[in-house]
Amino acid sequence: MELKPGCRVGIDMGGTKIAGVMLGADDEILSEFRAPTPRDHYEQTVETIAIVIAEVERMAGASGTVGIGMPGSLSPVSGLVQNSNSVWLNQKPLAQDAERVIGRPLRFSNDANCFALSEAVDGAAAGARGVFGVILGTGCGGGLVFNGQIVEGPNRCGGEWGHTPLPWPSEDEFPGPTCWCGRPGCMELWLSGTGLALDHLNRTGENLPAIEVARKAPTDAAARATLDRHVSRLARGLSMMTNIFDPDMIVLGGGLSQMPHLYEEVPPLMEKWVFADEPKVRIVPPRYGDASGVRGAARLWEKT
């Protein structure tokens, strides 16, 4: 198939779906395709990535460079997958196997990095110098972009705030639940949609998804209290990141980014924790929603 100048394929490896997009030279979407993620099956995951790439290229009638946004990252020491909450990928040679099956060079980055890159280049944070892209969904991820470049760091764990402890915890928040990574008190278990729902279950006995807790909050005191605890924890977590990176803009992604109260209630609370006399905090929703990750993956070849 003909390689068209400027054409870029982006792949977003989610926990439930593997999404693909082909961007043209003017960033227009030429084709899109999604397939279910073969959970707990590594070889089938590699095959599904190849199928999605082939399908978006077939639909667009062209081939292009391929960038892949993945959960976790590739170890700079072994080249194997590390720190993925899609645990069947961990310690696997994903880059080698995918390049062998697909037959061309690929570029990989953490899915939250791809989200942040997309929103920093032409999304809600376009023109901002420092951007912190936050994923609040099933898990809690983050990506840092500075001057249009992803900040991965030598360990490729830049922005992984979800696996740091909740800052300034109250007595009933310490040491916190044990995370899938094996450590206690990770912010992922407090700030993600999964964590919000678990907190509500532990306090009330109601087993509700996070979005349903938010829907009940205007007329239900227990649901509103759950949101208040979550807002406080999110404000503390984002304040810690602001004290470290001091981004011009924070962009929220994932399912919880659709909750409007976060943009109204979190910034004022952060003023208590940000180490500045007059904190300036801008938190915005994403321009591209759940399509940001795949768009950012397509851009991985733009910066060398």
Please count the structural domains in the chain: 2
DSSP conformational letter for 179 = P
Q: With respect to residue 121, please indicate whether it lies within any of the assigned structural domains.
A: no
Is the same domain home to 156 and 279? yes
- The predicted pLDDT at position 303 comes to 60
What average pLDDT does range 93-112 have in this prediction? Answer: 97
Using alpha carbons, select from 84, 53, 9 the residue that is nearest to residue 295. 9
Q: With respect to residue 141, please indicate whether it lies within any of the assigned structural domains.
A: yes
- The predicted pLDDT at position 304 comes to 44
Is the same domain home to 68 and 30? yes
Q: With respect to residue 33, please indicate whether it lies within any of the assigned structural domains.
A: yes
Q: With respect to residue 48, please indicate whether it lies within any of the assigned structural domains.
A: yes
pLDDT tens-digit readout, 32-49: 999 999 999 999 999 999
Structural tokens at position 239: 């304040």
Confidence of residue 251 (pLDDT cuts 50, 70, 90): very high
Is the same domain home to 236 and 158? yes
Is the same domain home to 132 and 89? no
pLDDT tens-digit readout, 272-294: 999 999 999 999 999 999 899 99
Is the same domain home to 16 and 101? yes
pLDDT at 267 over 90: yes
- The predicted pLDDT at position 13 comes to 96
Domain that holds residue 261: 127-285
Is the same domain home to 50 and 90? yes
- The predicted pLDDT at position 223 comes to 98
CATH code of residue 8: 3.30.420.40
Q: With respect to residue 120, please indicate whether it lies within any of the assigned structural domains.
A: no
Q: With respect to residue 92, please indicate whether it lies within any of the assigned structural domains.
A: yes
Is the same domain home to 245 and 145? yes
Is the same domain home to 176 and 230? yes
Give SS3 for 285. Answer: coil
Is the same domain home to 35 and 85? yes
Is the same domain home to 73 and 96? yes
Q: With respect to residue 29, please indicate whether it lies within any of the assigned structural domains.
A: yes
What average pLDDT does range 65-79 have in this prediction? Answer: 97
Is the same domain home to 89 and 163? no
Using alpha carbons, select from 76, 117, 132, 78 the residue that is nearest to residue 270. 132
Structural tokens at position 82: 């590390």
Q: With respect to residue 69, please indicate whether it lies within any of the assigned structural domains.
A: yes
pLDDT at 105 over 50: yes
Q: Are 263 and 251 in contact (CB under 8 A)?
A: no
Is the same domain home to 219 and 295? no
* The residue type at 147: N
Structural tokens at position 102: 């697909």
